[in-house]
Structure 1
Amino acid sequence: MKPIRVIGIGNNMAGDDALGPLTIQAMKAKPLDDVELIEAGMSGLRILDVMKGADVVILIDAVRSGRIPGTIHRLVIPDDLGLLKQSAWNSGATSTHGFGLGETLTLSHTLGTLPPNTLVYGIELSHTNIGTDVSSSVKKAIQSVVSTIKKDVEAYLCMNSNS
């Protein structure tokens, strides 16, 4: 079986933008077998290299789409690339990653390098103030995302246990 990678994107020093790495840290407390947990920082195009060779990739990032802070978005890629590009995962919006996640995944899809099972979890952020803590609504959402990712991984492993 090819690797399963869960990748947290974000800036640990910018309030709610730390949610990707914080999700990975929460998952490391009770890691799953056969799952690589990666804190990617503010990677932009580096995500393409981190995804290479994986069969399953689950990305976690902050999003700003105008919904209530802590709202969780779950997107299946490539089906939901249009939705991804409409939100703040696109560098033309408010991404802190330079080349936005939407653009990066669109490029991967275009190049034919997108892992066959790619999910994106976005958590609606409240603030990105440097040196501040993550908001309580985002902390609650992180725990929910951790639980849901574990279910996604278990479902994938069950579906592919005979291969």
Structure 2
Amino acid sequence: MIQERYGPEVELCDIGSGGLALLDHLHSQELMIVVDACFQGKPPGEICVMEPNLDTQTMDVTSVHQIGPLETLAVAKRLFQEKMPQRILLIIVETNGIDDKTEKAACQQVVAILDMEIEAWQRNHITSIGK
């Protein structure tokens, strides 16, 4: 199960389809990784990984939510600067027209990205604590 995969220093949250619920998870953390389903007209299961520049990022990603994570984070940066994570990574998965096999493969790719990013964060976090 993914909840036990990364240890107690990593918080995993399912905010459902309410993009604004992301605001409740801003705690000035070192790293926030947001995984979101979207409709961009790309091939089903295609994954885009980005570190959005919330000052200039265009909102050209259509989330499956009423307001997507990019919009939420851009607003939060202006209203709650003190709560913003130091680094934000957005993993966007094209879900329009996705079938079960492609969805499973995309989920495996997302977990691999999470593994890599969280492992790198943990290495850097341990290194910075030791200094």
Distance across 1 between alignment mates of 2:72 and 2:17: 12
Would the aligned equivalents of 1:78 and 1:118 in 2 still touch at CA under 8 Å?
no
TM-score, L = length of structure 1:
0.67
Larger RCO (CA under 8 A, 6+ residues apart): 2
| Shift in CA distance, 80/107, structure 1 to aligned 2, threshold 3 Å | closer
After TM superposition, list the pairs within 5 Å mapping 1:84-163 onto structure 2: 85-89=59-63, 95=64, 97-111=65-79, 112=81, 113-127=83-97, 135-161=100-126, 162-163=128-129
- 2:2 paired with 1:32: no
Structure 1 runs, 4 residues or longer, greater than 4 Å off: none
Give the aligned residue type for 2:109. S
Residue-pair matches, total: 125
TM-superposition CA deviations, 1:33-89 (whole Å, max 9, x none) = 121111111122121112224221111111111111010110113369625x11113
Unaligned ranges ≥5, structure 2: none
- How does the TM-score come out when normalised to structure 2? 0.82
Partners of 1:100 and 1:121 lie apart in 2 by 12
- SS in structure 2 at match of 1:60: strand
Cα distance in 1 for partners of 2:78, 2:100 equals 36
Residues 80, 144 of structure 1: CA spacing in aligned structure 2 closer, same or farther, 3 A cutoff?
A: farther
Q: CA deviation at 1:123?
A: 0.7
Determine the C-alpha separation between the residues in 1 that align with 2:6 and 2:47. 22
SS of corresponding position for 1:41? coil
Q: Could you say what the CA RMSD is over the residues aligned between the two structures, in angstroms?
A: 2.2
Report % sequence identity: 26
Asked if the contact 1:57/1:117 (under 8 Å) is kept, the reply is yes
Structure whose residues are more often helix by fraction: 2
Structure 1 unaligned residues grouped into runs of 5+: 1-25, 90-94, 129-133
CA 1:79–1:44: 2 relative to 1, 3 Å: closer
Conserved 8 A contact 1:123-1:138: no
